[in-house]
């Protein structure tokens, strides 16, 4: 078999461990010099392929690549750009083929969430429908944990560990303070409540915080929430709430109003997400002193408190993707397969991309308590293994020592430029 | 000398290491059984003394006390209650004497910030002006780092490490994302910019984030800020901002409006602090996509990323306070004395409480760059030693394993109850 080049790219929101996957891809590909020529990375995901903005990872030392394992963010840049259907924008696919041909790319490894698996699937069709020989493999990545076909998604375990740890720590603080009665922490997960659920791991016994979790899957009952807050303050002296950014009212409207571009009747932009809105409502209804936190990017970039299980799995799916590509497995995604809960045992597997693309795995109702405010024992059994183990990065001068790659670009071979409309 | 009992209490906002100080106090006091009888702790600071709500730490095992060293929050509860002047509310001081007499308290060790050192100083006057024999020692604690007479305050180093680490991590995330251009992280420090300044440690070279720091000491120049944001996005593709909650407009008004009780002309409560307000302004003026984080209690409770230097110093001032009390040093506070920057060497010292009470140490102008948006090399030299070293807590089941004390109360000896008006 002739040597061909590999193209790897990162897509969608980045995570604390997507670079661990990149490390797994590159280290594994480097072991197969006889089959894989150059290992390229797209700058900013698929956009790098379309615009021929391609990084040659061959310029990076083995130690720099190894350091990706403990470095958060997307080392090659990421993008939320989504390919349209083959018949809607054939020019894009033709462009991809031109770029792939120009750089002799025979392996396409795409690392992302459900939108990105759709992109990977569409690229895989190039081979089948447009006659360009390419082996296309998806690698799962999303803090939202909402990909189907895999037991869990690399990236999620570390957010879960961060959210559970932060909830536990902030709750100890709240409990210490005589005056503060309500604390709300807003976390990610616009459509699926997996991240919010992970906050539930902070406490074990009934009285331990968090005292309420607000999921996007459960319409928010304001009366029940206020009652719960009052009851918790009475019983435990405070009420700690973990709220998903995707919580909605029974009408379907998001509780957190978007920060950009939304204005009220008077032309003032509406501020804030869920936490300030909820804090405001609870403060008004109860008179309790409150605090709130919005962790935003911190939760998904906190490599310093990553889950070792998550790091190991992120690396493993990267390794698996290359092995799948070399085995000629086309249009598939590497997966995590759970073999047992306790002791937790897992392995890597495979699923067809078309079964994953654009699908969303929400938190099942059986993972939420009947009252809608907490996680069940079944949920705990599922989540707990994913946050096990610590894998701190090296520290230097008191701070995590993260790598910055050289990201040397490959010389452009195509005369024609291609603009990506966004 | 007869044995007398010791009363320790935690005051003001808690920190990741105030319990390490408690550990230093209790472990040291336990070594002096011949001089110190019982070691009491006030529930919720001075309020515990006034209401005779007193914990006997003698019920806690040596391992539970040792675990305080790695447990955030205030194990005995804290309060922001402030004693009024001796002549304004003599009843309070008489009550304190009654409680101290009833429990044979001869040593008063008070752990807090500048307000709390005022309380400690006022309590010390009981001995002098009201004839009750008590040795009164203050122990510094504040994330704000604004106490005078000590080179730095235990509690600050760990927040600084958290803020610098989180800034570095979030900035890597922002840099990875093609679409997000502005990221704002709101941190504590209503009157002094020490915490905001610590965000500056995240980057070393000029282009490295954060690209702007907003201090309470520097009135916010909106035009200059917008210009800086635009310039950074042009040069570095994004702009990362660390903003103190205490940033003010040139008029003196806080940029972040208080969340509680403030309503606009239409009766709606104004939401949010600095980050959403700034994000809103920057979004409007530049059109850039932004994200923001509000870390609130997380920054001061994140024991999992505490500075080892900070933990060591927190313990050392607790130890020192007991030794001062035993030496009969009255109305003093234990301090941290810096002996050299590089290598960093420090020791513990002493200062009179009256020199510390109610004073505030702001960030000196020479620690801020001329343009007002960053820290100078001198500031870096001061801050850097304080975040050195890691001291992770033990983990259990994937989460930090923090101790909860039994907090067994002492039987009340006074018939009369005392209500604390707040």
> How far is the C-alpha of B118 from the C-alpha of B86, rounded, in Å?
12
- What pLDDT digit, counting tens, does each position of A163-207 carry? 999 999 999 999 999 889 999 999 999 899 999 999 999 998 888
| CA-wise closest residue to B146 among B196, B201, B191, B111 | B191
- Count the domains in chain B: 2
CATH number for B317: 3.40.50.450
Chain-chain contact of A298 with B71 (C-beta, under 8 angstroms):
no
- What pLDDT digit, counting tens, does each position of A329-354 carry? 999 999 999 999 999 999 999 999 99
| Residue A21 forms part of a structural domain | yes
| Residue B61 forms part of a structural domain | yes
Shared domain for B294 and B331, answered yes or no, is no
Nearest by CB: B77 against A178, A185, A272:
A178
Phi, psi (rounded to 5 degrees) for B345: -130, 140
| Residue B237 forms part of a structural domain | yes
Last residue of a domain, one of B260, B285, B302: B302
| Residue A66 forms part of a structural domain | yes
Shared domain for A254 and A308, answered yes or no, is no
> 3-state secondary structure string, chain B?
CCCEEEEEEECCCCCCCHHHHHHHHHHHHHCCCCCEEEEEEECCCHHHHHCCCEEEHHHCCHHHHHHHHHCCCCCCCECCCCCCCCCCCHHHHHHHHHHHHHCCEEEEEEEECHHHHHHHHHHHHHHHHHCCCCEEEEEECCCCCCCCCCCCCCCHHHHHHHHHHHHHHHHHHHHHECCCCEEEEEECCCCCCHHHHHHHHHCCCCCCCCCEEECCCCCCCHHHHHHHHHHHHHHHCCEEEEEECCCECCCCCECCCCCCCCECCCCCECCCCHHHHHHHHHHHHHCCCEEEEECCHHHHHCHHHCEHHHHHHHHHHHHHHHHHHHCCCCCEEEEEEEEECCCCEEEEEEEEHHHCCCCCCCCCHHHECCCCCCECHHHHHHHHHHHCCECCCCEECCEECCCCCCCCECCCCCCCCCCCCC
> How far is the C-alpha of A248 from the C-alpha of A254, rounded, in Å?
4
User: Closest Cα of chain B to A389: distance in Å?
Assistant: 6
The catalytic residue among B53, B56, B144, B151 is B144
pLDDT at B2: 82
Shared domain for A214 and A240, answered yes or no, is yes
Shared domain for A180 and A296, answered yes or no, is yes
User: Closest Cα of chain A to B250: distance in Å?
Assistant: 22
> How far is the C-alpha of B355 from the C-alpha of B334, rounded, in Å?
12
pLDDT at B272: 56
Which residues of B, range 304-333, sit inside 8 Å of A by Cβ? Answer: 304-305, 307
| Residue A334 forms part of a structural domain | yes
Q: Find residue B187's DSSP bridge partners.
A: B244
Shared domain for A29 and A94, answered yes or no, is yes
**Per-residue exposure over A146-169, b if at least 16 CB sit within 10 Å of its own CB, e if not:** bbbbbbbbbbbbbbbbbbbbbbbb
Report which of residues A158 and B2 the model is more confident about: A158
- For residue A238, what are its two tokens? 């405070």
Which residues of B, range 207-226, sit inside 8 Å of A by Cβ? Answer: none
Q: How far apart are the first and last CA of chain A?
A: 39
- What pLDDT digit, counting tens, does each position of A391-404 carry? 999 999 999 999 99
Check pLDDT > 60 for residue A259.
no
pLDDT at A256: 87
pLDDT at B263: 44
pLDDT at B264: 40
Chain-chain contact of A164 with B302 (C-beta, under 8 angstroms):
no
Check pLDDT > 60 for residue A269.
no
Mean pLDDT for all residues in chain A? 93
Nearest by CB: A170 against B164, B260, B301:
B301
B269, closest residue in chain A (CA to CA): A280
Check pLDDT > 70 for residue A284.
yes
Shared domain for B132 and B181, answered yes or no, is no
Share of chain A above pLDDT 90, in %: 85
Shared domain for A173 and A243, answered yes or no, is yes
pLDDT at B422: 61
Shared domain for A173 and A290, answered yes or no, is yes
> Longest Cα pair distance anywhere in chain A, in angstroms?
72
Report residue A213's pLDDT band, with 50, 70 and 90 as the boundaries.
very high
| Residue B141 forms part of a structural domain | yes
Active-site residue flag, B312: no
Chain-chain contact of A301 with B170 (C-beta, under 8 angstroms):
yes
Shared domain for A53 and A66, answered yes or no, is yes
Give the Å distances, CA to CA, from B89 to A231, B82, B83, B95: 35, 11, 8, 10
> How far is the C-alpha of A270 from the C-alpha of A91, rounded, in Å?
40
Shared domain for A213 and A244, answered yes or no, is yes
> Longest Cα pair distance anywhere in chain B, in angstroms?
72
The catalytic residue among A53, A56, A118, A144 is A144
Shared domain for B99 and B198, answered yes or no, is no
Nearest by CB: B297 against A16, A174, A422:
A174
| Residue A377 forms part of a structural domain | no
pTM above 0.90? yes
| Residue A421 forms part of a structural domain | no
Share of chain A above pLDDT 70, in %: 96
**Domain limits for position B202:** 156-302
**If chain B, 422 residues long, is cut into consecutive pieces of 10 residues, what is the mean pLDDT of each piece?**
93 97 98 97 96 98 98 96 85 92 97 92 86 94 96 98 98 94 96 97 93 97 98 97 96 74 42 83 94 96 98 98 97 98 97 94 97 98 98 98 98 91 66
């Amino acid at each position: 078999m002739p040597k061909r080049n590999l193209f790897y790219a990162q897509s969608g929101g980045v995570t604390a461990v997507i670079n661990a996957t990149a490390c797994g891809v590159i280290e594994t590909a480097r072991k197969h010099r006889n089959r894989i020529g150059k290992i390229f990375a797209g700058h900013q995901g698929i956009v790098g392929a379309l615009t021929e903005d391609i990084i040659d990872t061959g310029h990076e030392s083995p130690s720099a690549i190894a350091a990706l394992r403990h470095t958060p963010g997307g080392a090659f840049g990421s993008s939320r750009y989504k390919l349209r259907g083959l018949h809607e924008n054939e020019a894009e696919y033709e462009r991809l083929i031109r770029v792939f041909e120009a750089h002799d790319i025979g392996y396409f490894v795409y690392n992302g969430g459900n939108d990105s698996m759709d992109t990977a699937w569409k690229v895989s069709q190039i081979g089948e429908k447009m006659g360009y020989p390419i082996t296309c493999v998806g690698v799962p990545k999303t803090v939202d944990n909402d990909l189907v076909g895999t037991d869990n998604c690399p990236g999620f375990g570390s957010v879960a560990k961060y959210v559970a740890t932060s909830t536990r720590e902030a709750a100890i603080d709240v409990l210490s303070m005589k005056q503060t009665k309500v604390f709300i922490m807003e976390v990610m997960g616009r459509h699926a409540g997996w991240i919010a659920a992970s906050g539930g791991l902070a406490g074990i016994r009934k009285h331990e915080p968090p005292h309420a979790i607000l999921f996007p899957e459960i319409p928010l009952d304001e009366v029940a929430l206020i009652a719960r807050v009052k009851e918790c303050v009475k019983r435990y002296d405070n009420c700690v709430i973990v709220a998903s950014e995707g919580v909605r009212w029974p009408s379907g409207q998001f509780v957190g109003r978007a920060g950009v571009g939304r204005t009220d009747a008077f032309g003032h932009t509406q501020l804030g997400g869920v936490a300030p809105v909820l804090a405001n409502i609870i403060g008004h209804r109860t008179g309790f002193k409150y605090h709130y936190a919005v962790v935003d990017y911190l939760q998904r970039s906190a490599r310093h408190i990553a889950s070792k299980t998550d790091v190991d799995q992120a690396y493993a799916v990267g390794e698996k993707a290359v092995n799948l590509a070399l085995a000629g497995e086309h249009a598939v995604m590497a997966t995590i397969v759970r073999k047992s809960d306790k002791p937790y045992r897992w392995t890597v597997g495979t699923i067809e991309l078309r079964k994953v693309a654009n699908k969303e795995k929400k938190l099942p109702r059986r993972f939420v308590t009947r009252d809608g405010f907490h996680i069940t024992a079944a949920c705990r059994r599922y989540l707990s293994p994913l946050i096990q183990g610590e894998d701190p990065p090296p520290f230097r001068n008191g701070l995590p020592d993260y790598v910055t790659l050289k990201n040397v670009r490959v010389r452009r071979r195509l005369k024609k430029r291609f603009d990506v409309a966004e």
